[in-house]
């Protein structure tokens, strides 16, 4: 726990002020902008005076996808040879339901009926006691549900003669195999974490009737935006329990939301997809989706295109194709590429941590995945083999969340 706390504090220092480059900072939630900049209310970021707006193409970047004025030549052409078509622009939170959005309530908050990825959701309040999955308050929540609660009391342990912060448990019982993202937030106005403490989650599969212990599947902590956690996993159609706690078990979190979202299956990868020109586009909008893929050889590289509107970020996470495969067994690498194919960020699996890139929220782990260029932009996510030699083929799933 000690090391965890140090890491958390270090991250806070590194990300302090939420600065991402000269004169640009996130100003959502009324945050102050540095001198010489002002807050763009729609994007939620500080902009230097004189910078073109989101709808202005005068910056020389890619043109918006909107209808072109005048010419009426074939769509998707005339952008320069070798360029991909301009990205479709789906902006969740602009009060305009478009594309594959199920809803759009004009904000970036889950748990109010329409999530920050424009999925219909509902809120369930936690019921104490729920410290353990067997406690009477540990309720079953549906998929596309937000559990609202708080880590509000310390519990004294007689044996250790020490107090620990309480835990909160709930159940998920899918009726068919799904891919689920379980993510915590502790800010009240957007899906973000700005509290002083992190959250930890652990996932168990219930033992079959007749006895035995529940099976620990995986944990997650310190891998979301700010100090929050994200646990993304395939999930079989059986009861699973989730227990969330404050990361160090020494502090309280007055209020939090834990979002449980089923990701849309956008189908398997389509080979060949080893370069930007052949990047798969079926998860382009990134509205809580996943695709399946296979690394068939050590040379196989699978590339997926994701549209990231101005002021928004993408989270991509590479997960095993079964819930019982631990993240650290996933010998693969997840890479974020820009429109020139330049690597901007990359991760491999670590203990209890699947490879991910996260540009969401005010203090993203990967600012490279947050689009502050004020022009519609497509990023690319590549899946390739890990550092160790490859043995056999490797099935995987890659989840995308644009927020």
Give residues in contact with Ca ion (CB under 5 A): 91, 94, 96, 98, 104-105, 107, 109, 112, 114, 130-131, 166, 168, 294, 300, 302
Q: How far, in Å, CA of 66 to CA of 64, rounded?
A: 5
CB closer to Ca ion, 8 vs 127: 127
Residue 88 or 294 with smaller CB distance to Ca ion? 294
**Cis status, amide bond into 383, omega within 30 of 0:** no
- Our CB check for Ca ion shows the closer of 109 and 217 to be 109
Question: In this complex, which beta carbon is closest to Ca ion, that of residue 12 or of residue 188?
Answer: 188
Least spacing, CB of residue 108 vs Ca ion, in Å: 7
Residue of 258, 242, 245 lying closest to 151 (CA atoms): 245
Q: Write down the least CB distance from residue 247 to Ca ion, Å.
A: 15
Pick 20 or 249: Cβ nearer Ca ion: 249
Give the list of residues 6+ apart from residue 11 with CB closer than 8 angstroms, or none: 222, 227
The DSSP 8-state label assigned to residue 271 in this structure reads: S
Q: Which is nearer to Ca ion, 23 or 137 (CB)?
A: 137
Smallest gap from residue 166 Cβ to Ca ion (A): 4
Token duo for residue 4: 């965890």
Query: What is the nearest approach in angstroms of Ca ion to the Cβ of residue 208?
Result: 27
Provide, rounded to whole angstroms, the least separation between the CB of residue 364 and Ca ion. 20
**Distance of closest approach, residue 209 Cβ to Ca ion, in angstroms:** 26
CB of 112 to Ca ion, least distance (A): 4
Give the DSSP H/E element, type plus range, for residue 13. Answer: helix 2-15
The residue sitting closest to Ca ion, measured at its beta carbon, is: 104
Phi and psi of 358, rounded to 5°? -135, 115
Q: Quote the least distance from Cβ 29 to Ca ion, whole Å.
A: 15
Angstrom distance (rounded) from CA 400 to CA 17: 27
Cβ closer to Ca ion: 168 or 246? 168
The 3 state secondary structure assigned to 95-147 is CCCCCCCCCCCCCCCCCCCECCCCCECEEEECCCCCCCCCCCCCCECCCCEEE
Residue 313 structure tokens: 């970020």
Identify the sign of the CA torsion 229, 377, 188, 33.
positive
Are residues 313 and 401 in contact, defined by beta-carbon separation less than 8 angstroms?
no
Nearer to Ca ion, 10 or 298 (CB): 298
Residue 177 CB neighbour total at 10 angstroms: 13
């Amino acid at each position: 726990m000690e090391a965890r706390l140090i890491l958390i504090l270090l991250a806070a220092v590194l990300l302090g002020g939420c600065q991402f480059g000269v004169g640009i900072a996130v100003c959502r939630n009324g945050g102050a902008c540095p001198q010489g900049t002002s807050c763009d209310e729609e994007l939620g970021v500080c902009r230097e005076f004189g910078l073109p707006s989101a709808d202005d193409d005068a910056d020389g970047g890619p043109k918006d996808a909107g209808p072109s004025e005048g010419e009426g030549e074939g769509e998707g052409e005339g952008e320069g040879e070798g360029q991909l078509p301009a990205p479709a622009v789906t902006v969740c939170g602009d009060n305009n339901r478009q594309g594959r959005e199920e809803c759009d309530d004009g904000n970036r908050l889950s748990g109010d009926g329409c999530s920050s990825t424009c999925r219909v959701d509902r809120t369930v309040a936690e019921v104490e006691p729920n410290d353990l999955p067997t406690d009477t308050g540990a309720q079953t929540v549906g998929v596309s549900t937000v559990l609202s609660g708080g880590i509000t009391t310390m519990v004294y342990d007689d044996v250790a003669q020490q107090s620990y912060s309480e835990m909160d448990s709930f159940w998920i019982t899918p009726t068919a195999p799904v891919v689920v993202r379980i993510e915590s937030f502790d800010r009240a106005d957007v899906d973000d974490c700005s509290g002083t403490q992190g959250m930890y989650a652990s996932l168990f599969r219930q033992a079959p009737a007749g006895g035995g212990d529940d099976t620990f599947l995986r944990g997650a902590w310190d891998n979301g935006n700010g100090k929050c956690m994200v646990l993304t996993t395939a999930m079989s159609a059986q009861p699973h329990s989730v227990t969330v706690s404050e990361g160090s078990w020494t502090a309280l979190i007055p209020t939090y939301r834990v979002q449980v979202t089923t990701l849309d299956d956008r189908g398997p990868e389509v080979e060949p997809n080893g370069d930007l020109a052949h990047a798969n586009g079926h998860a382009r909008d990134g509205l809580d989706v996943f695709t399946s893929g296979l690394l068939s050889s050590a040379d196989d590289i699978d590339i997926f295109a994701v549209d990231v509107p101005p002021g928004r970020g993408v989270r991509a996470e590479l997960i095993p194709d079964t819930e019982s495969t631990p993240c650290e067994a996933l010998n693969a690498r997840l890479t974020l590429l820009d429109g020139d194919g330049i690597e901007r960020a990359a991760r491999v699996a670590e203990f209890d941590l699947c490879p991910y890139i996260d540009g969401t929220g005010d203090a993203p782990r990967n600012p490279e995945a947050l689009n502050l260029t004020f022009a519609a932009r497509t990023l690319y996510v590549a899946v390739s083999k890990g550092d160790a030699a490859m043995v056999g083929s490797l099935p995987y799933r890659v989840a995308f969340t644009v927020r």
